[in-house]
Amino acid sequence: MLCLVSQTAVAINTVGFYFADNKNATKMFDYAKHLFANEFELVEYSAEMSETLPVIIHGYSSSIEFAKSGKDNPVIVIGVSSFQAKKLLKVKDCHTWLILMDDASPQRIKALLGVLPKNNSIAPFSYSEHIQNWQAILDKTYWMPAKPEEKTFNLIKRAAKESDSFILVPNAMPISPSLANILFHYLYKQDVLTIGYSKWSFEAGAMIVSYADYTQSLLAARHYLVSQPEWPSKAYVCLQNFQVNEHLIKKIAPSITNELLNSMAYSLNMGCY
């Protein structure tokens, strides 16, 4: 099936907000409504809404629920990972959806590598097509070869011997936070710098990560609703923050500080919207 280019009208007065029923839903809606007050009115989505009105959906499970409803509203999804975005692209059919991923893009990680004290070789953890996508952008970096049949911990042991840095790249099948925590702890003991691409990878123990928070995802949605009449099917949230685990990193790369990363994030964010 050939899908048409996603489009939405620029002049928007009302936008629906669809979210899972949880304890934070009301606070999240009220915050978003206040943030958008100068551009358009944000209302809780209902099935009676016109299908011409755009809808912001927060989270993967809410997006699946909305897709099952069969409604044809233009949709912007926020609060999902690149792995979840790949699955959502299979269920949205030809409906007008823009999926905004809060993971770090390979371009953002490339900027990070430029300030690391050592980045001669990088060990990735991924066997999927994502490796090719990232390698094409991080073209001046040596990537340690990995074999599909290689056991995870054997790859990690080789990474500790052969590489300066270890990047957790989005995989076709994401590893669990508990396994990531074990891997990151081992690499820390071997003085290998670990880089993540999401909030959960930071919580699992990666020393440096970049990801978009809720506010930044909302601002990205506003940008596309107000300023972009044509939407891609998916995009990274451009506004992001770098996070550094100072307690861990000071042993391996004490020159990498919050101040340095905040300055770099500011420069990158200035080129966004």
One domain, residues 95 and 222: yes
Domain count, the chain: 2
Residue with tokens 């928070």: 213
Whichever domain contains 21, its CATH number is 3.40.50
Give Cα 75 distance to the centre of its chain.
18
One domain, residues 137 and 15: no
Residue 225 lies in a domain: yes
Would you give per-residue pLDDT tens digits along the chain (273 residues)? 444 445 544 468 899 999 876 778 889 999 999 999 999 999 999 989 999 999 999 999 999 999 988 888 999 999 999 889 989 988 876 578 999 999 999 889 888 888 877 655 666 555 455 567 777 887 777 676 666 677 777 877 877 787 777 777 665 456 777 888 888 888 888 888 888 888 888 888 889 999 999 999 999 999 999 988 889 999 999 999 999 988 888 888 888 888 999 999 999 999 886
Q: Which long-range contacts (CB under 8 A, 24 or more apart) does 211-214 make?
A: 211/102, 211/103, 211/104, 211/240, 211/241, 211/243, 212/102, 212/236, 212/237, 212/239, 212/240, 212/241, 213/102, 213/241, 214/28, 214/31, 214/78, 214/79
pLDDT, position 4: 45
Type and span of the H or E element at 166: strand 165-167
Residue 19 lies in a domain: yes
One domain, residues 47 and 157: no
One domain, residues 98 and 116: no
pLDDT, position 265: 94
Q: Which domain holds residue 85?
A: 6-102+212-236
Closest by CA to 272, choosing from 241, 242, 240, 238, is 238
> The tokens of 76 are what?
């912007």
One domain, residues 130 and 28: no
pLDDT, position 126: 52
One domain, residues 92 and 16: yes
One domain, residues 76 and 200: no
One domain, residues 47 and 59: yes
Closest by CA to 166, choosing from 203, 133, 197, is 197
One domain, residues 253 and 169: yes
pLDDT, position 118: 64
